[in-house]
Structure 1
Amino acid sequence: MQTTIQKWGNSLGLRIPKSFAAEAQVEEGSTVDLSVENGSLLVRPHRARKYTLGALLKRVKPRTLHGEVSTGKRLGREIW
């Protein structure tokens, strides 16, 4: 599909046809990642990574493991 880049304030805007938006699972307000690859604009839906505790703990190495850190006295109804 061919479309036209248009001026939008001090920037340029690209309208995304409804069918393309639906297929890419984006809607108004969606966050996208924009990059240039080999001279072409690439727009991808931003997908936040989902981490599990187990996956994060597997990445802990002895050199990055830190001891306990004092955060001061408790405040309010905190329990230590």
Structure 2
Amino acid sequence: MMKVSVNRWGNSKGIRLPKAVTEALEIEENDSLNIEIKDGAVILSKPKKEITIEEMFKDYKGGSFQAEIQEFEPEGNEKW
């Protein structure tokens, strides 16, 4: 377990994250973190990276594909 001190930062209070923590979470300067309070503990986590269209198709070589149109009947109060 690591300990850090809480210090004044303007009108707020802040902590510094040790290098081992930033490396383990792969945190860079200006990254955003999620903060959750659960059972008296503060949980910091890095948000999941959003994938761009370019990243999604970076290995796509331009091959063709076939798709069939499927029709469905409503089963409840769906609006089509």
Q: TM-score when scaled to structure 2?
A: 0.58
Q: CA deviation at 1:36?
A: 0.3
- 1:50 is displaced (CA, Å) by 4.3
By how many angstroms is 1:39 displaced? 0.8
Question: Deviation of residue 51 (structure 1)?
Answer: 8.6
State the aligned residue count: 56
- Alignment match, 1:16: 17
| 1:50–1:13 Cα change, 3 Å | same
Give 3-state SS (helix, strand or coil) of 2:30's partner.
coil
Between structures 1 and 2, the one with greater helix share? 1
- Partner of residue 37, structure 2: 36
What RMSD in Å do the two structures reach over aligned CA positions? 2.4
Tell me the residue number matched to 1:26: 27
Taking only the aligned residue pairs, the percentage that are identical comes to 23
Residue aligned with 1:20, SS: helix
Describe the superposition over 1:14-64 as per-residue Cα deviations: whole angstroms up to 9, x where unpaired. 100112101111011011001100011111011245498xxxxxxxxx626
TM-score in terms of structure 1 length = 0.58
Structure 2: stretches of 5+ with no match in the other structure: 54-73
Q: CA 1:64 to 1:35, structure 2 compared with 1: closer, same or farther past 3 Å? A: farther
Matches of 1:40 and 1:48, distance apart in 2: 24
